[in-house]
Amino acid sequence: MANTLTKKRLAWAFGLLVALFAAVVATVWMLNVRGETPVTRVAPVAVPASPAQIERGKYLAQAGNCISCHTVRGGPAYAGGRGIDTPFGAVYAPNLTPHAETGMGTWSPDHFWRAMHHGRSKDGRLLYPAFPYTEYTHVTREDSDAIFAYLHSLPPVAQPNRDHTLRFPYNSQWALAVWRALFFTPGANTQNPHQSADWNRGAYLVQGLGHCVACHSPRNALGASSLSRSLQGGIIPLQNWYAPGLTSSAQAGVADWPLEDVVALLKTGIAPHGSVMGPMAEVVFNSTQHLSDADAHAMAVYLRALPQESIPAAHQRPAVPAPETMRLGAQVYDQQCAQCHGASGEGQAGAFPALADNRAVTMDPPINAVQAVLHGGYLPATAGNPRPFGMPPFTHVLNDAEVAAVLSFVRASWGNQAVPVTAIEVYKQRESR
């Protein structure tokens, strides 16, 4: 009798587990197909796109910075193959040209819209969010069709797509389905009736097509952007640059900037109060410099209207570098930096940025300042700044203590007030490449 009761209990428990598993699977499946419409077309629409639609699509593809990921350096435009490193392995961008076998030659506008809006490929596979469909889901159908028309107007390139090199279980569709169920909800472009047309257009570009959130927001352990901390800044995985918060005047917030200065930074990469380097330089070069004046203005309106966080205590009461640190930093600065940036950090207009009252210098965390000193770099070449001056690398010239000292000196001089940089922080950035 006892054995029979035990067997019944085991059978009941097993049945319950099966039912729970089935319920979870069903829930994940429903969350992954919500809002989707079955794609019935198996070939592109026969009606050719108009020249105006193609030109519009080209502009939108630039605004979305599609070329940066989908073009290998020195390779054909939009032919794919560039690897995007993630903490879970590498994802390789696909060929977007209209080649029938290796590209999107057999795609329809419906297939492309599904990829943009729902993150699903032509064959039904779920796409990895290295492709920012989590933001592109807000792109309108009209704009999606225009981008597709432009891509289909490109010369077809026979370049096979590379397989991703992701670790288990991140290389499986079921793991991706669970991730999407947890972190992805299809969206739409919604207008705020209480805001201006410029604000709404700027929100569309920042939150959707321009996918600024993808870099300028922190990510959790599974690589999902934090919605509660949107645009508050985050480390760009494996690039070891910090995308500063757009909601903080201590980082990259521009609420107190003149509108024309924000536009200048987007269009040229330089402004009276800042300049761009690192990954943002590529964004300006490939994308924002090509924005129309109206769209750059709209982005500036939206960015200036973002709610600003209070300045952290570290910025209000900064620690003072030790005297020996200031002495070493002053010595290094005089030897290596003053010739370009000036004896008092005043810089040279049109050439080298001022270090006095420069948020890129005083920002916490000091990751980008360390990167700039160690590895150097260039501002983007733009129509408004066609011959930018560069920053030489000092990784083989200065040791960790010297880099930390000179940055601490700069962050505490000429009115700057920021916490010192430690040699350990420099070491971590040096070894992370």
Identify whether the C-beta of residue 269 lies closer than 8 Å to the C-beta of residue 382: yes
Going residue by residue through the chain (433 aa), what tens digit of pLDDT does each one get? Answer: 556 657 666 666 656 555 554 555 555 445 555 666 777 655 555 558 899 999 999 999 999 999 999 999 999 999 999 999 899 999 999 999 999 999 999 999 999 999 999 999 999 999 999 999 999 999 999 999 999 999 999 999 999 999 999 999 999 999 999 999 999 999 889 999 999 999 999 999 999 999 999 999 999 888 888 878 889 999 887 788 999 999 998 888 999 999 999 999 999 998 887 889 899 999 999 999 999 999 999 999 999 999 988 655 445 556 789 999 999 999 999 999 999 999 999 988 878 889 998 888 998 899 999 999 999 988 898 998 898 888 999 999 999 999 999 999 999 999 999 999 999 999 998 887 6
Domain residue ranges in the chain: 51-183, 197-305, 313-431
Identify whether the C-beta of residue 354 lies closer than 8 Å to the C-beta of residue 305: no
Q: Where are the alpha helices (DSSP H) in 64-191?
A: 66-70, 109-118, 133-136, 141-153, 173-183
247's tokens: 């909601």
Amino acid at 98: P
pLDDT score recorded for residue 68: 94
Q: What one-character-per-residue DSSP string does 363-375 give?
A: -SS-HHHHHHHHH
Identify whether the C-beta of residue 368 lies closer than 8 Å to the C-beta of residue 360: yes
Is 197-305 assigned to CATH 1.10.760?
Answer: yes
Handedness of CA 294, 297, 302, 305 (dihedral sign): negative
How big is the chain, counted in residues?
A: 433
Q: Comparing C-alpha atoms, which of 251, 246, 283, 240 is closest to residue 371?
A: 240
* 197-305 and 313-431 in the same fold: yes
pLDDT score recorded for residue 264: 95
Per DSSP bridges, beta strands 390-391 and 377-378 are antiparallel
Cα–Cα distance for residue pair 374/369, rounded to 1 Å = 9
pLDDT score recorded for residue 199: 97
pLDDT score recorded for residue 378: 86
Cα–Cα distance for residue pair 131/137, rounded to 1 Å = 11
Cα–Cα distance for residue pair 371/35, rounded to 1 Å = 43
- CATH architecture assigned to 313-431: Orthogonal Bundle (1.10)
